Amino acid sequence: MLTQTEDEFDMDQNQPSPPHWRALDIDHEWQVALYLPKRYEDFSEPTTAWSTLPVGERHLLVVEPASIDLQGGTTPRLRLTIPDSILGPCYAYLYGAREELAAASEAIRGGRPGFLCTRKDIDGRTTLAISEIVPEKWIGRIRPVYSVRPKSVSAEDARDLIANHLPGALHRASEHLCREAAFLGDESAITFQVGCDGWALADILDQVHRPSSLEYGTHALKALEHLAALVGLWRARSGSDDVPFVAIKLATIERRMKDTGLALTRDQLAAIGHIQGFLARSKRAHVLISGDVGTGKTAVLGVIAAATVDAGFTVVLVAPTGPLAGQLAGQLREWFPDVPVGLVTGEHQELPEQEGAPIMVGTTAVLGFSISGVGVVMVDEQHRFSREQRETFVANGAHLIEASATCIPRTTALAKYGACEVCELRETPYPKTIRTTFFNESEKRDLFAQIRAFVLAGGQLIVVYPERGDPASEPGDPTRTVRDALPRWQQLTPNAEALTGQDDAETKRAVLQRIRDGITQVLVTTTVVEVGIDLPSVRGVLIMHPQHFGVATMHQIRGRVARLGGTGYCWIYAPERLSSASEARVRALVSTTDGFELSRLDLDLRGWGNLAPDSSEQSGADRSIVFGRPISPGAAEAVMPILDQLAVRRAVARTEGAEGEPGQSSPTRQHQGSARGPMI
């Protein structure tokens, strides 16, 4: 059994591990057992004759070449003559650096490796394209494939690193899992719930990294994913249940809605009513306003803020940029002139004469102020903030309301799986259509013909680049930086100017105002315009080098167009080849303008990070239960019945006045696995 004391475990946790663990993004040697492979390669039954290989598919071929020839030239390659008793010999080619090919040639001569290759039949002639020389030790086995940091270690070195340290890590990793999943019961209850009844946790971990078969490895990997999902969702659901919060009764909601002078949509009215109910409870309200671009999130936040002030509480409203914070403060002052509104950014402060404005709007600079009586913290464009920034005032008893068109994966998961309240805004006061098109380098001429026609017809355009450019440096790439691109845009129209995050507050205000007044026709900029900035007459946006932007950022940039309805255009241009991950993000953006769907796709692509209340991991792998790969939404869906059952038991225990120790009686023994092995 697992016997290490908690103090001993914590002490060992603090011992630093060698730097090579950074390649796997782990901190301690024992965590290698929790570093999950992203997939497996089945080399258990390799092919021994090239004539049996299907065309166009990658397979492992184990055969002794008849000849090995290292060929030079501008494109070095290794040419192997592969014999076959049925169809005779064919050539197989491996390309790479000359030094690497020489080493591969020696490895082939010195052993009996396998060739991971793809058969190509062109004009009746067969060749084999070799993608990898597979070491002999993997032939006849299942090989795990791990994710590693780029330019750190090779895939084979990562496998060796994990394999060499795995035996000594299994016990410690099992111990860690038992601690984190204690709410499920003891070790046997834990393994039962994830479909491995009769297994030890060490057995599951061992099968993940050294599977007896593809079925066993896949089953063990699924079990650990489900366990990580259980722990993550349990943390999210139970993080703040026992913290008492002051109820806020919003008695002036109707009057404050009228003050805006807006014809609020049904979604806005419903959101305001729901939030009013959430704040009236004697428990912490964590509300997400998930509203697509242009659906009126600001009006909902404003009405709730003013009514909260009427109830005797202070409101803090945080925005990611100075221009957006200033825009929000100005809008609130216009709607509610009787409510003093303070503005605090990193560049300046606008505070009313009264000490302690009841509504404080600002960037993260406002988080440094000591503000008393905070009842509600509001975070606009929440995907731009860390968890610590968003929850700075919440620890002192404030309710939290977040708003975004495309939430970060962690928040999407919290909303999806019931760890926070959600208010959706889908209706827009101004119906619009945005046409999104992607162009690569070969389509450059067509793209800029469309852009030129758009601008010459009088359209206002925003062009977003990934970099500002250093004014003191030599000229650089005009497709990448604002500084180098601006002169080219000024050749198209003299009414083109630049704006970046490094400009001072007055410059930003003046440039944005010239856009609103129609004086500036083309704005060459960075992501400083990503969030919330209202530029009603802009109808076109061009995003350069999309590989540098996430889904949420590109959707927000696209949301700057057609703010008053009608048709808008979003062009995306990649002058260089995109990685598979970047291409997936662009495809997602082109496929839909629905921010809700994009948030879900972003969650699927990146993973939810860590759902614990004190975690800073907002996407990617959990990095506390498992490492190396994110927890899939499918795993979360699979374990929801177990969590619901635990929630019922917890509620019953509270009703009876004694919750008891975790694991005293495990949930009903129901799972989707088998007795001692995978369901095959």
pLDDT tens, 428-473? 877 888 999 999 999 999 999 999 999 999 999 999 999 988 766 7
Residues 97, 76: contact at Cβ < 8 Å? yes
Do 462 and 531 sit in the same domain of this protein? yes
| 24 band by pLDDT with thresholds 50, 70 and 90 | confident
pLDDT of residue 477: 73
Q: What angle do CA 400, 403, 408 make, to 5 degrees?
A: 100
**Domain count along the chain:** 3
Residues 294 and 385 grouped into a single domain:
yes
How would residue 603 be classed by pLDDT, with cut points 50, 70 and 90? Answer: confident
Q: Flag whether 643 is in a domain.
A: no
**Which residues on neighbouring strands pair with residue 414, listed in sequence order?**
none
Res. 669: pLDDT tops 50: no
What residues make up the domain containing 306?
253-425
Regarding whether 567 and 544 lie in a shared domain, the answer is yes
User: Lowest-pLDDT range, 183-192, 278-287, 340-349, 620-629?
Assistant: 620-629
Does residue 381 or residue 247 have the better pLDDT?
247
In whole angstroms, how large is the CA radius of gyration of the chain? 29
* 385 and 503 fall within a common domain: no
Q: Does residue 667 lie within any of the structural domains?
A: no
Neighbours of 659 (CB within 10 A): 14
Q: What is the pLDDT of residues 29-62, one digit of tens each?
A: 899 999 999 999 999 999 999 999 999 999 999 9
pLDDT by residue (tens digit) across 615-651?
Answer: 556 565 667 788 888 877 788 888 888 888 887 777 6
pLDDT at 129 over 80: yes
pLDDT of 552 > 90? The answer is no
pLDDT reading at 315 higher than 90: yes
Do 361 and 510 reside in the same domain of the chain?
Answer: no
pLDDT of residue 353 exceeding 80: no
Is the pLDDT higher at 370 or at 471? 370
Q: Are residues 277 and 414 in the same domain?
A: yes
- Does a structural domain hold residue 460? yes
357 and 500 share one domain: no
Asked, for residue 387, whether it belongs to a domain, the answer is yes
pLDDT at position 68 is: 94
Residue 595 is predicted with a pLDDT of 78
Q: Residue 7 falls within a domain, yes or no? A: no
The band of 3, judged by pLDDT with boundaries at 50, 70 and 90, is very low
Give the model's pLDDT for residue 16.
43
> Do residues 408 and 493 both lie within one domain?
no
Q: Calculate ∠ Cα 648-650-655, nearest 5°.
A: 95
Residues 378 and 480 in one domain: no
pLDDT tens by residue, 5-21 = 444 444 344 444 455 67
Structure confidence by residue, pLDDT tens digits, 379-432: 988 767 766 666 666 666 789 998 887 766 777 777 677 667 888 888 887 788
pLDDT, one tens digit per residue, over 134-192 is: 999 999 999 999 988 777 788 888 899 999 999 999 999 999 999 999 999 999 999 99
Q: Does 571 lie in the same domain as 452?
A: yes
Q: What is the pLDDT of residues 80-114, one digit of tens each?
A: 999 999 999 999 999 999 999 999 999 898 888 89
User: In whole angstroms, what is the distance from residue 561 CA to residue 567 CA?
Assistant: 9
Label residue 74 by pLDDT band (50, 70, 90). confident
Burial class of residue 88 (count of CB atoms within 10 Å of its CB; 0-12, 13-18, 19+):
exposed
Residue 104 is part of a domain; what is its CATH number? 2.40.50.140
CA 400 from chain centre, in angstroms, equals 22
Task: Using a pLDDT cut of 90, give the percent of the chain over it.
Answer: 49
Instruction: Supply the CATH number for residue 420's domain.
Output: 3.40.50.300
Give the integer Cα–Cα distance in Å for 318 and 275.
Answer: 18
| Domain end (from 84, 110, 140) | 140
Domain endpoint, select from 574, 606, 638: 606
Domain membership of residue 445 (yes or no) is yes
- Is 216 within a domain? no
Are 390 and 500 within one domain? no
More confident residue, 196 or 595: 196
State the pLDDT at residue 491: 92
- 464: β partners: 525, 543
- Average pLDDT value for residue range 591-599: 81
How much is the average pLDDT of 539-561? 90
Residue 420 shares a structural domain with residue 445: no
Is 589 inside any structural domain? yes
Distance CA 341, CA 351 (A): 7
Residues 329 and 319 sit within 8 Å (Cβ to Cβ): no
Calculate mean pLDDT across residues 504-528: 89
Of 579, 606, 633, the position where a domain reaches its end is 606
Helix (H) / strand (E) containing 420: none
